[in-house]
Chains A and B, each alone.
Chain A
Amino acid sequence: MSKLRLNGVSKAYGATLALRRGDLDVAAGEVHVLMGSNGSGKSTLCKVIAGSVRPDGGQILINDKPVTISGPQAARVAGIGIFYQELSLASHRSVEENICLSALPVKAGFFIDRRALKARAARYIALFAEVAGEGFHAEALVGNLRADQRQLVEIMKALASEAPILIFDEPTSALDRAQVDRFFEILRGLKAQGRGVIFISHRMDEITAIGDRVTIIRDGETIETLKLSDTDPATVIRLMVGGASDMPAARSSAPAVVETRAKAAISVRNLTGKGFRDVSFEVARGEILGLGGLHGQGQSALLRAIFGTSAVTSGEVTIGGERYNAKSPRDAIRRGCAYVSGDRGRDGVISGRPIIENVTPIHYLRDRLMIARPSSLKNKAMPALAAMHTKFASLFHPINSLSGGNQQKVIIARWLIDRPDVLLLDDPTKGIDLSAKADLFALIRQLAADGLGILLYSSEDAELLGNANRILVFNGGSVTRELTGDDRTRYNLYQAAYEAA
């Protein structure tokens, strides 16, 4: 008998299909694991069940009866509780208020029944009493808690729904070992009560420890459901990756070994900072070093720290043989470092200003330019933009008139007027169409051939496999594996990313 069943659920955001065909079958008394790579549609599927995303098609059955879930409230009534990956907490409210927020106990119609609220919250806080850590109490404001403690509050909030079907979308990402162990004990208790639990995690050891069955989602489609006891991690990863998993990266695009010109463009020794620790590597001139792994494992933090936007606590960086210690991006730019972020709105575009002003700020800084003459700047800007095949009507049109891909080309062009020595690419193709992506990577490889040292982080594995000479796989803030030559396969990349930190 199945507690919850999804048949062919689909959801599109504009032109992108987030979920093509989601099928799922959760039985009473099981922990059902959902697996899939970043952007495969797991979270969308969960949000459809929880009512915060409305599906375009498909059928949802609870206890074999078809239901329509019109919103989060309706989902609650239907008996569904959820832990949101991005959390759903009010940071200025107390822990106990957050736990009970979805159904505040009321007396006399209007007034909050404080005693009932405290009693109810206390039950769930007690579950984690030994592992919650310092400063965690019922009246603490959620905004003052540590990341792991906030995650515990979200778990308690999900548990407080007392729903027969519970969804946990990456509930353990910030928790320590003891907290995870306690959480799993609680999950086993829920299983024994006959509840259905959907569980998402990126850690293979956790999945085998708690899961009963696993459903694999790839590119928005349910691929298969397996019993975890009958399978092994390698099979699961192979299913997640799809057919082409064992093929090495297309060799035509990136040579496995650079004919090393001996000189390192940048070398990093035991670098530690917020979000990453003890990272060491060397990038030769002309080399593209890929940073891989799941999202948010320290790759961006490392690149931003090298560029001087956040502090480095220990370790050293040398560029061109000289000790380099950037205190600010300004400093980093003067030393020949360039940084292009995928988050154009935050880190790149000077919104509302003409294209020419968006191409030239780095030139101002590096040339200590005091007076800007459009005619002479134009001569410098045009070749840089032309190198990228940037499409624009006039240099004096606002940058917002361009498409995302062309905006990003303008941002990259600003670094090409005065050539840097090191180029840091932080997921540079986020939200860019395919042809612009191809242009970008052609240019990046050209820049490498011209002798730049390039560090490339991408959330799309294909980009790393197709362009990087070597790939460092990050897990939990440090490098766990280096893939070179024929080891650069999709399978190896996934395996390294998903193994326990």
Chain B
Amino acid sequence: MTSTTTDMRTSGAGGLRSWLERYPFLPALVIVVALLALNGLFSPNSLSFRSLTGLLSTYMALIMLAIAQTYVVSAGDIDLSAGATLSLVNVAIVVLMERWGGGAGAVLLALALGVLIGLACGLVNGLVVAALRLQAIVATFATSIFFIGLALYVMPVAGTPAPALFWHTYGGRLLGLPFVFYVLAALAVLLYLLSRTRIVTELLAVGDDQQAAYQTGLPVVAVRIRGYLLSGLFSALAAFCLTGDTASGDPLVGGKMTLYSVAAVVLGGSALAGGWTTVVGSLLGALTIGLVNSLVFFMGTPSEWQNFVQGLAILLVLMAGVLAGRRARV
């Protein structure tokens, strides 16, 4: 009798393990569902279509930034300049849209240029980290200061508004559905396509064991640079979402978001050491942070305690994720 129960438990753990190997974001998904339930418990209104849409459009920027971070983390690197890239793209597109009159053409042209700026930031990081072989954590911290300097040059004081056409579109509806849903759908397609590319598999192989990847004949330096290019691209997309949400330019807006993006990657179930990452998990990790923040608000926490409770809640979620992962690895 006892032996059968142990057998069942081991096979259960083995089953869980293979599930986790296929879908490493499962614990993050469970946590998001639990947080949604808790939000609903404290304030049923927070689960309304309207509030959820609001949550998504506010945290879409963090989702994008977490995904940007995921691609560099895949290769065992880190990008502490993701938030600064976001700031730079944010002020650049706001200034350009304003200069060019705020019409549809101006908006599209500014966005195209924003993507290029993001890619350029990624290229700088990639060259500094992979080609010059500087420590990723310090080198990207340095480039982040550099990018913020540029952002402050472009827009010394926060507050220039974005053209109404831009943020009306982002916050509005298209064919009866909120625009942010289309953003999410487009992101899903993009992530699906990227997951099937050679570059993502190569990034993961480099993150797994850089020496082995080199000996296999992979172009390790080029692969790591491509990781930073992807990070720059998604940081630019994050800046678009942020601009749509805040409707203005702010040269310091992204600073705080960088470490949130790293936290989201870990909460989502990726390994910071590289080789084992999940973009879906990072998306859920960013949502987790958003839901924790809204939960703290809906619980009626006094404002002076909100940071304290937020930090505590993120720690708890992190522990829950680690415990789930450890159980599965028995």
Contacts and interface: CB of A to CB of B under 8 A. Distances in A.
A92 B76 CA distance: 13
Contacts of B216: 72, 88, 101-102, 157
Contacts of A71: 214, 217
A111 interface: yes
Given A89-B212, A141-B21, A73 B217 contact: yes
Interface string B189-200: 000010011110
Nearest to B197: A110
B213 A111 contact: no
B214 A52 contact: yes
Given A106-B198, A111-B196, A112-B196, A93 B204 contact: yes
A114 B208 CA distance: 21
Interface residues of A, number: 28
B201 interface: yes
Given A111-B198, A112-B198, A141-B21, A90 B215 contact: no
B219 interface: yes
Nearest to A87: B212
Nearest to A104: B198
A75 interface: yes
A359 interface: no
A112 B201 contact: yes
A122 B217 CA distance: 21
Nearest to B219: A73
A52 B209 CA distance: 15
Contact of B199 (A75, A101, A110, A141): A110
A97 interface: yes
A84 interface: yes
A101 B208 contact: no
A88 B215 contact: yes
B179 to A, nearest CB: 28
A211 to B, nearest CB: 25
A423 interface: no
B202 interface: yes
Given A91-B275, A93-B208, A72 B214 contact: yes
A213 interface: no
Contacts of B205: 90, 93, 97, 101
Nearest to A141: B21
Contacts of A112: 196-198, 201
A268 B209 CA distance: 40
Interface residues of B, number: 23
Contacts of B275: 90-92
Contacts of B199: 110
Contacts of B202: 104
Nearest to B17: A144
A76 interface: yes
A71 B205 CA distance: 18
Nearest to A161: B217
B235 to A, nearest CB: 21
| Residue in A71, A90, A102, A112 with the greatest tally of chain B CB atoms within 10 Å | A90
B59 interface: no
Contact of A92 (B193, B204, B215): B204
Contact of B217 (A72, A90, A97, A106): A72
B218 A102 contact: yes
Interface in B197-236: 197-199, 201-202, 204-205, 208-209, 211-219
Contact of A90 (B193, B196, B208): B208
A355 B305 CA distance: 47
A140 B216 CA distance: 20
A101 B203 CA distance: 11
Interface string A99-115: 00111101000111010
B221 to A, nearest CB: 11
Contact of A50 (B193, B197, B209, B215): B215
Contacts of A101: 201, 205, 213, 216, 218
A112 B217 CA distance: 17
A102 B198 CA distance: 11
Interface in A23-59: 50, 52
B212 to A, nearest CB: 4
Contact of B201 (A72, A75, A93, A141): A93
Nearest to A74: B217
Given A73-B219, A76-B217, A111-B196, A88 B212 contact: yes
A106 B202 CA distance: 12
Nearest to B276: A92
Nearest to A100: B201
A71 B221 CA distance: 13
A90 B198 contact: no
A104 B197 CA distance: 10
A322 B205 CA distance: 52
Interface in A86-143: 87-93, 97, 101-104, 106, 110-112, 114, 141
B11 to A, nearest CB: 14
15 contacts: A52-B215, A72-B214, A76-B217, A82-B215, A91-B209, A93-B201, A93-B205, A93-B208, A97-B205, A101-B201, A102-B216, A110-B197, A110-B198, A111-B193, A112-B201
Interface of A: 50, 52, 71-73, 75-76, 82, 84, 87-93, 97, 101-104, 106, 110-112, 114, 141, 157
Given A88-B212, A90-B205, A106-B198, 19 more contacts: A72-B216, A84-B215, A87-B212, A90-B209, A90-B212, A91-B209, A92-B275, A93-B201, A93-B204, A93-B205, A97-B205, A101-B201, A101-B205, A101-B216, A101-B218, A104-B202, A110-B197, A111-B196, A157-B216
